[in-house]
Amino acid sequence: MWNSSLAFLLLEREDFRVQLTVLVLDRDPLLLQSVGRILRPHRVLQATGGLLGLTYLRSGQRVDGVLAGVDLGGLTGPEVLMELSLEYPELATRFAFMAPHSAMLASEGVPILGRPPNPEALRAWTATLRREDPRVQNRRLYS
């Protein structure tokens, strides 16, 4: 007899094997390191500015999500989001801010994970990215 709850648990365990690549943008190298540790075992790419982050994306590298501070020096976090909306609309929907909660950013509908980001909020955000990941979706279709 097929146990559907057991199948769901197995699928959820498989989902955790999908390693995401997250691009983290911030001016503070210590914050970048801290976020990198929290996001393990995912692959974390770090850039100390918005322009560096966009350059990385434009080089053709695959990224599953972008986490950015607001004041990046040069381009701001909202400006990076605007560029992503134009060039990589699918990635713009997988974007979150590291910022104190503010009405200006909240009105954009983009997740705000705090600054420094709350570890549980970071893990919840990556869990959402993982659930929406096509690699996980395909695995569910064929399981």
Mean pLDDT estimate for the chain? 79
pTM for this model (two decimals): 0.78
Predicted confidence at residue 140, as pLDDT, reads 40
The residue among 114 and 30 whose pLDDT is bigger is 30
Give the CA angle between residues 97, 64, 95 to the nearest 5°.
20
In this predicted structure, the answer to whether residue 6 has a pLDDT above a threshold of 60 is no
Per residue in 40-61, pLDDT tens? Answer: 889 999 999 999 999 999 999 8
Q: Sign of torsion, CA 120 46 75 132?
A: negative
